[in-house]
């Protein structure tokens, strides 16, 4: 089967320096692929991070908080974000079916709820240490089934589980652990962008370090 063309990329904002963030956004604009921006815990918890996101307009915004708590706490967190014009929000699938369904219901139709499967920083050995008796692939398959039952809008998995997830979960797949080159920073299950068959790629330092415009062009050519 011919590899699916990737036309959508979330750029991971891995700094709280607003000058750098503005530069990343300005220099990553292109009409060749669809670009969104991922803001994580560090940025959203920073002094001016939330305010910055609240003022962004005409951008696809992915807030990666990986919510994982009691049902009521998770619902309160989602409600507290409703004033922001964000498009995607992550929750851990391991929070359970009841929590996932509740979050999906309160999120409404505008905010897409994204289930996070097994982190790309973990491998089979790590899972065993923390008490899981399944392999990464088996665990992710189980998590994909749970995401489907909860009617989530999208699912996050590593490049190595995309094909497994796609057989189970028919909505958007978002894939971190993606690099333009072969350098793989802190992720154990990473892959070059050109080899990934997903709906959205998440790419951070491969784009944001060095010449951003050149990195974007390099990325486009690799896809």
* DSSP symbol at 95: G
Task: Tell me which residues are annotated as active site.
Answer: 66
Residue 213 pLDDT greater than 70, yes or no? yes
- What is the rounded distance in angstroms from the CA atom of residue 63 to the CA atom of residue 129? 29
Which of these ranges, 4-13, 26-35, 129-138, has the smallest mean pLDDT?
4-13
Query: Which sign does the torsion angle of CA 186, 189, 191, 197 carry?
Result: negative
pLDDT tens by residue, 104-125: 999 998 999 999 999 988 999 9
Q: Look at residue 66 in the predicted model and tell me its pLDDT.
A: 97
Q: Where are the domains of the chain?
A: 11-222
- What is the rounded distance in angstroms from the CA atom of residue 201 to the CA atom of residue 193? 8
Check residue 23 and give left, alpha or beta (phi > 0: left; psi -120 to 50: alpha): alpha
Contacts of 130 (CB under 8 A, 6+ apart): none
SS3 117: coil
User: Residue 186: which pLDDT band, with cuts at 50, 70 and 90?
Assistant: low
CB 150 within 8 A of CB 177: no
Helix (H) / strand (E) containing 20:
helix 18-27
Mean pLDDT of 67-94: 96
Euclidean distance between the first and the last CA atom of the chain, given in angstroms as a whole number: 16
* Pairing, β 8-13 against β 112-116: unpaired
Cα angle vertex 67, ends 66, 69, to 5°? 140
pLDDT tens by residue, 132-151: 999 999 999 999 999 999 99
- What is the rounded distance in angstroms from the CA atom of residue 176 to the CA atom of residue 63? 14
Task: Give 77-82's long-range contacts (Cβ < 8 A, gap of 24+).
Answer: 78/103, 78/106, 78/107, 78/111, 79/106, 81/111, 82/111
Q: Would you state the torsion angle of the CA atoms of residues 144, 169, 7, 60, taken in this order, to the nearest 10 degrees? A: -70
Question: What is the CATH architecture of 11-222?
Answer: Alpha-Beta Barrel (3.20)
Q: Look at residue 1 in the predicted model and tell me its pLDDT.
A: 46
């Amino acid at each position: 089967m011919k590899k699916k063309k990737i036309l959508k990329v979330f750029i991971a904002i891995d700094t709280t320096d607003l000058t750098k963030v503005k530069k990343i956004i300005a220099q990553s604009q292109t009409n060749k692929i669809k670009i969104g921006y991922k803001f994580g815990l560090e940025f959203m918890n920073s002094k001016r991070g939330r305010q910055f996101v609240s003022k962004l307009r005409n951008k696809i915004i992915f807030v990666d908080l990986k919510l994982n708590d009691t049902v009521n706490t998770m619902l309160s967190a989602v409600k507290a974000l409703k004033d922001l014009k964000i498009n995607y929000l992550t929750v851990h699938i391991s929070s359970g079916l009841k929590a996932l369904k509740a979050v999906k219901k309160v999120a409404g139709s505008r905010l897409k709820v994204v289930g996070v499967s097994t982190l790309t920083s973990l491998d089979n050995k790590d899972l065993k240490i923390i008490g899981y008796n399944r392999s990464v692939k088996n665990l992710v398959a189980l998590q994909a089934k749970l995401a489907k039952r909860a009617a989530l809008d999208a699912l996050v998995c590593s490049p190595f589980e995309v094909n497994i997830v796609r057989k189970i979960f028919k909505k958007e797949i978002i894939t971190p652990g993606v690099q333009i080159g072969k350098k793989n920073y802190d992720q154990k299950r990473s892959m070059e962008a050109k080899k990934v068959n997903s709906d959205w790629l998440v790419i951070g330092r491969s784009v944001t370090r060095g010449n951003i415009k050149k990195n974007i062009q390099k990325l486009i050519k690799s896809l």
